[in-house]
Each structure stands twice: as structure tokens, then as C-alpha cells.
Amino acid sequence: MALRKVVYNVTRNPELAAGGSLVHAPVIPVEGESYEVHEDIAGEHMLINIGPQHPATHGVLRLVLELDGETVVRCIPHIGYLHSSFEKLGEYRDWNQVIPLTDRMDYLAPLIYNCAYAMAVEKLMGVEVTERCRVVRVICMELDRIFSHLLWLGTTAIDLGAFTVFLYTFQQRELIYDLHERYTGARITTTATRIGGMMADLPSGWIEQLNAFLDGFPRVLDEVETLLTHNAIWIGRTQGVGVISGEDAVNFGLSGANLRASGVDYDIRKDRPYYDYDSYDFDVPVGEHGDIYDRYLCRMEEMRQSVRLLRQAIERLPGGPINVDDPRVILPSKTAAMNDMESMIHHFKVVMEGVRAPVGESWFSVESSKGELGMYVVSDGGSKPVRWRVRGPSFINIAALPHMIEGALLSDVIAVNASLDIVLGEIDR
Amino acid sequence: MSNGEAFKKGLEGLDQGPAPSEPAAPGIPPPAGELPPHPGVDALRREFGEAVLRHELTAGDEHIVYVRPERALEMLGWLRDAPEHRYDFLQDLTCVDYGGGREIQVVWQLWSVRHKRNLRVKAELPLDALEVDSVYGLWRAADWLEREAYDMFGVVFRGHPDLRRILMPYNYAEGHPLRKDFPLRGRFSRAEQTRRALSMRTEDHYSPLELQIAELLNQPLPDVIVEGGPGVPEQGMMPGVGGGG
């Protein structure tokens, strides 16, 4: 029986809280109406431009800030510098050919995007994947949750001056890169799923390699915690910074750890379970203050829970075929295609015409590392999507950035932006 | 499965060809009892009657309710606030263009955090009247989603405080890219596209509000793209900056 969600009460550092001044970064409230442009502000306020080429914006994000001294009066984000028109390109490709586009959106957790897209299309087509495929996809998604959270941890820490953490996390990411490479042949652009299954079964020895990673990883995470969790600088830069209330977070559509750090208990793996997530034993950490520190604690705990999930998935990994036995969607084996007529016809049709989906549509979402990743596919019965829409979690999370930083200090802009865990490939699409 | 069976099964799917995309009888709500009931849709019918056009079920368990566009805002507001529904989380707002002169659909995908229920609301807008009320006042999440829908489909959201392009540049003049009548390569020739890209001025990178602020502050606009000059590293000297996440 799965445990119900546990609320982790975030404990503030007691020694420092008694002293007071170190715990909270000073936030200077802006008096009066900060939204109006007043004629008499000339010479007092200043307009500055951060990005699009700036290492601390985590991609090609551009922020135009109106400053009063060091206080941010107004923040206007500009996006689109990486726009590649993926959704339009998808309409010119058949259902399987869209998969390479999905991992180029979020290159920090490519397998989650591959899986989410395949799951949406399979739901539309009514294809039930095999038991082994379900568990392999859970392994892929949880592995990439760690993969993405590690990058978030490293880059956020380096933005706030903690260089060591960056090295530790990237060392661990390298091991996941190796796992990607060994399974899919690519380190970032994995393209691992197909409609109805995976591109291949797990190679021999892969699970052992994954186990070796899982043995070493929690120790590194503990080490990172000793560097950050009770670190006075880290606490000073993160506690009480970038606060958003639970009600506002829901209204802004935040999802993932950003929403849960504000105390809203919404995780798709629990609330709309897919792939038997309800039969795994794991907890969802929920914060209460909605600041950067709580987002940090939530993500750290999520990585530990992902390790638990991975261990359970490895234990229950069944044998059997990885692809569905359905010649409409899956290529026959090479031997069969070369030796019997029917298989050759299927091979020809699947390659030349592509897989066909029935008329209809499906909006399917999974809990990605960054939040709710929705895939909306619309079909008119052909072999290409009429519309393929991605509800990118970063796109909606970053839209709340001005709300979180207006009234804060310029240096907090970098911290808050880093804490939201964005990836511009998916924001700009 | 023997080869013969597999062959038959394959032919069923492969040789059907594309089915017509028109629903059988658009505009007529199905008789009660035909679809599994959805509490949100039933309540909308009771509350708004005529304004609910039809109710569909797709992909097994996804409920879609089509509403009259002029009453969409009112109905969405009711869905958000009614205590027994509380669709307080706007998961997604987007448009679908089927092409061929058909109406463009505006899609609101809702989720109730408290009741753990989904509902998809759709409104169909004819191509010559692409306007619908903004839900910015209900969900702030709609801010960028509506801007994106405007940018990509040209649907105007009445009452949005800052409706401007979001993914395409502000001076983009080729239209709305995700419309079916928009060619994949764009409307202008490659030479014209290059010329326009190279002739962008600093002001083209700023929104009207920012231009207004800069004027009031009596401050020159900060350059976005710095080309050479003393002390400025050439582009390409820092490969990978900006791409690493």
C-alpha cells in the first residue's frame, strides 16, 4: 500500500534564527504604486537589460528591469530568442518522427519528454504498452528527474557562489549521461521511445550500471546537503526570497516543485496516477514558505524519492517483450521483414505512411522534473498530427517571475530565476 | 500471434485511410445518458442552458464541452468559483486550427486541485471574428498563454492588459505561424527575411511600455545586441554560453 503524502515541515536554522540578521535577506518594500509610471521619476529610476546572452539567465532569457537604486520596481521578461517552431514542424512529420523534436525541447530531461509524448499518442490510439515497457519508462523518467534536478542544483548553487556543489552534481550527471549513451546511443538527444514501445530493449549490464549509480548517488547528495542546507550564506540568500503564496502559485499555474514548495499538494504521479505510480511506495515533499529555500528542500527530497522509485522499479522489472505486438505501430524484426511477405508489407507501410491515429484528441500530462508537462495531440485520422501542443512547465513557471521579484533586490533576481528551474528550449519551443 | 492473424490485424488499421474529421452532427448535444456524465458539464447545462453547445468524450475518459464564445468568460468564471467545482488551476490555454476554412477552436484545459477533476472547455471562433474575452482576470496563468495564442493564431483576447507577440519578434510582419494557411518557410522570401533580421533597430527589441518608461526616464535604451567595439568580445568567443541550461 502506498504511503500518503507527507508534509515535510521545513525547519529554519535555529542557531541563526536567534541572531536574526543572517537568516533573511533584506527585502525593501516599495512604497506606493509601483505599477504606475510617474513623470517625476526621471533620474531616480533606471532601465537595465539583462540577457539574452548572460550566463545567469540559464539560456537566452532576457529581462528588462526598472530599478530604483538596487530595488526592482518592474520586471519585463522577453522570450523567443530560441524559438524553433517545434509545434509547426510537428505538423509536417508523422507521429513517430515528432519524437526527436520532443527531446530537443528539454535537453535536461529528454527521456521524460520522449515518454510523455509517446504516452499521449498511445492514449489517443488506444495502444496499451507492455508491462516491461511501463516499468522501463518509469525508470527512464525517474532517472531523468534526478538528471534535471542535479543540473538545477549545480547551476543554482553556482549562481549563488557555491562552486563545489556544481562540480559534485556534474560528476553525478556524467554517470547518467553514460547511462543515456549506453541505452540510446546519445547523451542528450535520446529519442528513446516509439509509439507502442521503446527504440530498443535495455542492453545487458545496463541495470547493473544503474544500480552502481544508485549506490553512490545518495552519498553525494548527503555531501551536498552538508555544504548547503545549514550554510549561512545559502540560507541568507534563499530564505524569504522569491516568496509566492500557495493561492497565488495555483492562480499563476505554477507546477512541480515550485508549486509544492508553496504548500500546495499537487503531484500528477499521485493525483492522476499513470503507469502504476499508485502502486509504488514514495512520498511527495511539500514545503510551506514558498521561497527559494523550500524549493531547494523539495527538490533534494524528490531526488531521494526518485532513488526509492528506481530501486522499486528495478525490483519489479518483468521480462517479456518491450514493444506491443501490433503491426500497425511497431516495425517487425529485421529477420521477419526479410523473410516473410506480410512483415515486409507492414515494414513498408509503417515506414512510408507512418502510424495512423484515429480521429480525436488527447490531452495527457505527466509530472516532469520541472512541473506539469502536458502533451495535447489532435488527429484527423491521418498519419500526421493536426496539432501537437506542449504545455511546457517552464513556460508557465517563468511567467510568474515578475510577480516574485518586483520589490526585491537586483541580486535576488538571479537567485529567483535560478530557483524556478527553467529551460529555454522548452519556453521558446 | 500467427502471421496470418497479425496480417489481418495490420490491414484493419492500415488500409482504412484517413477518416473524415467533421463530427457527425456538430451543434446538436447528444441525448442525456449517452455519455458518461461529468458533474461539471451537467452543472453547466443546468446553469447556462443554451450556451452549452455539445459535450464530447475523447480518448476514453476526456470530457470536452463546447460553449458559445460570447459567454465563455462567464461560464469559466462560474466553473472556477462554484464551490462544488472549483476549477482553480488553468492547465493550458491554446488554439487548434483544422484548416480548410473551419473555425479556430480555443481550448481551456481546467483542473480542480480540490476535487481532482479535469474538464476541457472549447469555443469555436469563425475566421472572420477571432475574438474572445480574456480570462486574465480569472487565472494569471492565462497572461502568457493568451499572448502565445494571439502570436501563433491571431486570436484576440479582449481585455488582456498587455496583448503583444511573445515568441516572434515585435516587428514580425508575416502573420501568425501556427495557422494552417501559413507556409512552413514563412511568407517572405529568404532574402527578405534576412534583410529584415539584419535591419532590426534597438527599439524593435523593446515593448511599447518599455519605450514609454525609457522616454519618461529620459534614458537611452540599453543595446541588446552589442556589435564589436572596444572591450567587447566577439560573438563566438564564448561558445555554449546561454545554451547550458
Q: DSSP of B106-174, one letter per residue?
A: EEEEEEETTTTEEEEEEEEE-TT--EEE--TTT-TTHHHHHHHHHHHH--EEET-TT---SSS-TT--S
CA distance A2 to B233: 56
| Residue A226: CA count within 13 A, CB half-sphere | 6
Burial group, residue B237, by CB count within 10 angstroms (0-12, 13-18, 19+)? exposed
Provide φ and ψ at A376, rounded to 5°.
-115, 115
Side-by-side strand order, sheet with B117-125: B52-58, B62-67, B117-125, B104-112, B89-97
Residues of A in contact with B223 (CB under 8 A): 49
Residue B72 DSSP class? H
CA distance A411 to A338: 64
Residue B192 touches chain A, beta carbons under 8 Å: no
Q: Using CA of residue B172, residue B177, residue B179, residue B185, what is the dihedral sign? A: positive
Task: State the pLDDT at residue A314.
Answer: 94
With CB atoms and an 8 Å threshold, state whether B167 touches A429.
Answer: yes
Residues of A in contact with B60 (CB under 8 A): 123, 126
Instruction: Band the pLDDT of B18: cuts 50, 70, 90.
Output: very low
In chain B, what's the furthest Cα-to-Cα distance?
80
Residues of B in contact with A43 (CB under 8 A): 217-218
What average pLDDT does range B127-135 have in this prediction? 91
Task: State the pLDDT at residue A303.
Answer: 92
DSSP β-bridge partners for residue A213:
none
Residue B220 touches chain A, beta carbons under 8 Å: no
With CB atoms and an 8 Å threshold, state whether B89 touches A378.
Answer: no
**Can you list the residues of chain A whose pLDDT is less than 70?**
1-43
Task: State the pLDDT at residue B8.
Answer: 58
Q: Are the C-beta atoms of residues A291 and A243 closer than 8 Å to each other?
A: yes
Number of helices (H), then strands (E), in chain B: 6, 7
Q: Strand, helix or coil at A50?
A: strand
> How many other C-beta atoms can be found within 10 angstroms of the C-beta atom of residue B42?
14
CA distance A45 to A365: 43
pLDDT, tens digit (0-9, with 9 covering 90-100), for A14-43 = 333 333 333 333 333 333 334 444 444 445
With CB atoms and an 8 Å threshold, state whether A328 touches B242.
Answer: no
Tell me the CA end-to-end span of chain A in Å, nearest whole number.
Answer: 40
pLDDT, tens digit (0-9, with 9 covering 90-100), for B47-104 = 888 888 888 888 878 899 999 999 999 999 999 998 888 899 999 999 999 888 889 9
Q: Which of B59, B166, B178 sits opposite A360 (nearest CB)?
A: B59
Task: State the pLDDT at residue B241.
Answer: 44
Q: Residue holding cell 535536461?
A: A108
**Nearest one of A108, A110, A143, A420 to A303, comparing CA atoms:** A143
Task: State the pLDDT at residue B25.
Answer: 36
Residue of B2, B58, B97, B179 to mutate, interface with A, max A Cβ within 10 Å: B58
Tell me the CA end-to-end span of chain B in Å, nearest whole number.
Answer: 47
**Nearest one of A380, A429, A368 to A108, comparing CA atoms:** A368
Provide φ and ψ at B142, rounded to 5°.
-70, -15
Q: Residue holding cell 535604451?
A: B221
ipTM: 0.84
Position B191, amino acid: A
- Asked if residue B10 has pLDDT above 80, the reply is no
Task: State the pLDDT at residue B76.
Answer: 92
DSSP β-bridge partners for residue B51:
none
DSSP β-bridge partners for residue B66:
B54, B122
**Nearest one of B8, B68, B61 to B37, comparing CA atoms:** B61
pTM of the model: 0.83
CA distance A105 to A90: 12
> How many other C-beta atoms can be found within 10 angstroms of the C-beta atom of residue A354?
18
- Asked if residue B231 has pLDDT above 70, the reply is no
Position B225, amino acid: I
CA distance A258 to A286: 10
Q: Give the strand pairing for B62-67 and B89-97.
A: unpaired
CA distance B225 to A52: 9
Residue B181 touches chain A, beta carbons under 8 Å: no
